[in-house]
Each structure stands twice: as C-alpha cells, then as structure tokens.
Structure 1
C-alpha cells in the first residue's frame, strides 16, 4: 500500500504506470478530503481499509459473491462492473457508463465548477488540453465554461 500517502487535507496517490506513462516514471495525484463524510474519499478509503485483508498488497481487492473480501487485486473488468452496478443503483440505466465515465465525470464537474483547465489536466493526467476539452469535458458543461459568458453581449 505504498502508493497512497496521507497528507494534510487528503491523500497523495502514486500511479506507478499507466497508458500515458508506459515507462513507469510514475505520477502523484493529490486527492482532497470531501466536505461531508458521505462524499469524503479519505473516509471511503479508510472504511475500505478496515474491510480488506490487512497487510501488504493491492489496495483494491476482490469481493466475492458471498461478500468475502479476498487479497487478490481487482481487474479492469471488475472496475467496470462496480461502476455500472453503483450507477444502476442510483437510477442510471445507460450502457455508456464505464469506468472511463469517472474520469470524464470528474473533468466535467470540475469544469462546471470553474476549475481552470490546467488544474483539471493535472488531476486527470492529460498532457493534451485539446483532448481534455473535446473528449472529456462533456457537452453539458459547455455553457458553464464558454468564454462568451464573459463578453457582456
């Protein structure tokens, strides 16, 4: 679990290797505490760590159909299944919901909240701002982030 460190105000998560970092240079991402216990990612992680098997190993491990938590890491298919299950539980029915939706949803919500694009890109680890704007920030956010809102027309 050396990939997650506690910091004042949240967590520092190190991603050792990713599609955008095939040589494994690694990147550290800050995750701030939430404003309420129900949405606090630090609290959610702490609750999970109280559930998963103790000791070294992957942070996110499999939960068997009988509810038993194993020490085996989850895989990409598990992440997709978890995201779809949770989305359906709160009323989303679209098949377009994927694990990728989490990244795009973060980018869209951040843009709608007025977070500057360079800060969103740093969080989502996008090097190409055009890709971030055109592919990740959903059209629903377009009215919130358009510069024409500030022209006084």
Structure 2
C-alpha cells in the first residue's frame, strides 16, 4: 500500500492554516511588544489550542482544506466578500450530498461535521458563519429529509467476547498492557482517548487527560472527558484473571511505571515499556485484531467484521451487559441523559414497561 502524500498545493494550504491559527491571537497593532506581553500571547495561543482536542483540530483543518480546494476549482475564494458567503456554502453542502463528479456522496452526519469545521475555521479568522441563514439552513434541511438514515451503531463487545479476546493475547509485557486496556476500557465504559490519556498522578504531564487512585476495593479514575470532568469507579472483579484493577496493578508493576502516562509503547520484543504515550488509534487496532483472532462474528467476511467493531464497542458492551439500574450505567458512561445511554444498549428488555397495558388496553 502506497502512502498518500499531500500535493504541493495541499502543503501550502496546510501551512497557511497553521499560520492563520498562529496569527489568530496576537498583540493589537497599537500596543508595543515586550517580553512579558509576548509570553502572554504564547500562553493565550496554548489555551486557544486546548479549546478543541487535537483530533478535532486536525479534522477541522482538513474540512477547511477541502472547502478551499472546492472553491478554487470553481474559480471562487472562501474569503471573498461577503465573507462567509451563505450561497456558496449552500452550494458546497449540496455538492457533498449529490456530487457533480465521481465522488461518493457524504452522509448527513459527515456533512454536518464539515459545516462545524467551516464554522470553527471562519471564527478563527474573525468571521461568523450563520448556519441559520436560509441559503444554508434550507439546503441542509432538505439533505436531512432526503438522505438521513438511522445512525450506524458499532457492535457491542460483551463479557464472553472480552474473555475470548483476552485469550488471544501473548503473555509478555505488551500482552499484559493490552489486557489491561481491554479490561479497563470495558469495565469503565471508557472512550479510547480517555484510556490512553490517563496518567499515574494528577499533573504528571501537560497532555494528561486524567489520573488514577487505587484503593482496596477498586480504582478511581478522574477524567477530563469530552463532556467535562467526571469520576469513574471501577471495582475489583470476581477473579484476578478478569479483574481490571489487578491487571492495572500488574502492568504498572512489571512495566515499572510510577510517573507519567500509564499506557506507553513497548520495545519491539514486547518486553520493555518505553516512555512515549500510546496513541488512541492503538485501542481501535487492538480491538479489531482481537475480534478477528478470537473468531467473533466469524460467519461474516473479514471486512464486515472489522467494520462492525471500534473503540466504542467497549462502551456499548458495558451498557449492554451491566444488569444494574440504568442510572448507574448512565453515570459510568458520563451521559447527560438516559436516552443517550439507551442508544448504547444493544440488548435490553425494551418492553419491560408496557404502557399499552398500563393505559388499560
């Protein structure tokens, strides 16, 4: 497989995006610079960057690059007056839904994400994109009405699946780390980014997304998650072989990790922990590889099996398997509503509460 490289035009465009991001926060022209003020500019830029995750910023930068390229191909300028131009953006999203060339049409959710990316990028440049403008809102409403489909849900990884996946892992240090990732992610209902962002202690690293506290009954995770700060309690399991807390303790002990990122890369031979934090993509790759090796949904072709599972399969597995009051599952997953939690429940007694009979019919 050949690795895709950006064209010279794309490289110039990406450089321009980075330059715009740097210039978005600067000293007013009438204020003379000084060492203290220049340092504050750098600090403000760091905070502005932290307003969105790295993955979100990368996606939004690609959204802008695609829109700018689309405009150039049609002899237009995304920053021409009036800026932003609602009619132009309405035409753009219409072309995403029903392309005039050989490209595949995008889903409604992807088109809405593209619009969010354009809104963010225009705001970065000091402009306001009014998504309620009729040239945008009416086109988007028509796209939703004509092309919207129920959201595609990833398959839930259930308890028996986790056990089968654990059995496929080797008994070296790398295997111990990956066991801990699967067990902790499943029992905590964690996102893949939450798993790899954990540190041993509070404020160990600048890019920390949370830390742990180990108690006799379990481990407490304090997470700076997608929806804000939250605590996740993970109790000890019924046996050491399936206990996420025991696996975590073993990993930290044998990897000799007492500071900084919990989940790090390992040496090529899988016997030594390195200092570099794991990327969240490792979690997705780990899940897909173990699903194949464990023979889960083996009746399906490999490509379909891989498409069914992702990092969210761990969260869906906890929501679907935990036989407890729904409120506890909602709290563990960090959802603001019970309805969101129900979307993650792949198997549940949907008609346990029968309003038809309760209404006298």
Range class of TM-score, shorter chain: 0.7 to 0.9
Partner of 2:245: 42
The TM-score with structure 2 as length reference comes to 0.36
Partner of 2:317: 105
Which residue of 129, 143, 148 corresponds with 2:349?
143
Secondary structure class of the residue paired with 1:142: coil
Secondary structure class of the residue paired with 2:310: coil
Where structure 1 has 5 or more consecutive residues not aligned to the other structure, the ranges are none
Partner of 1:126: 335
- 1:71/1:88 Cα in 2 relative to 1: closer, same or farther (>3 Å)? same
Aligned-pair distance for 1:107?
A: 0.5
Aligned-pair distance for 1:92?
A: 1.9
Structure with greater proportional helix content: 2
- Cα distance in 1 for residues equivalent to 2:216 and 2:273: 30
Quick one: higher RCO (CA 8 Å, sep 6+), 1 or 2? 2
Count of aligned residue pairs for this structure pair = 138
Answer whether contact 1:52 1:71 (CA < 8 A) is retained.
Answer: no
Where structure 2 has 5 or more consecutive residues not aligned to the other structure, the ranges are 1-199, 202-210, 298-304
- Cα distance in 2 for residues equivalent to 1:51 and 1:86: 23
Partner of 1:18: 225
- Cα distance in 2 for residues equivalent to 1:144 and 1:52: 44
- Name which one, 1 or 2, has greater alpha-carbon Rg: 2
Secondary structure class of the residue paired with 2:233: strand
Aligned-pair distance for 1:64?
A: 4.2
Structure with greater proportional strand content: 1
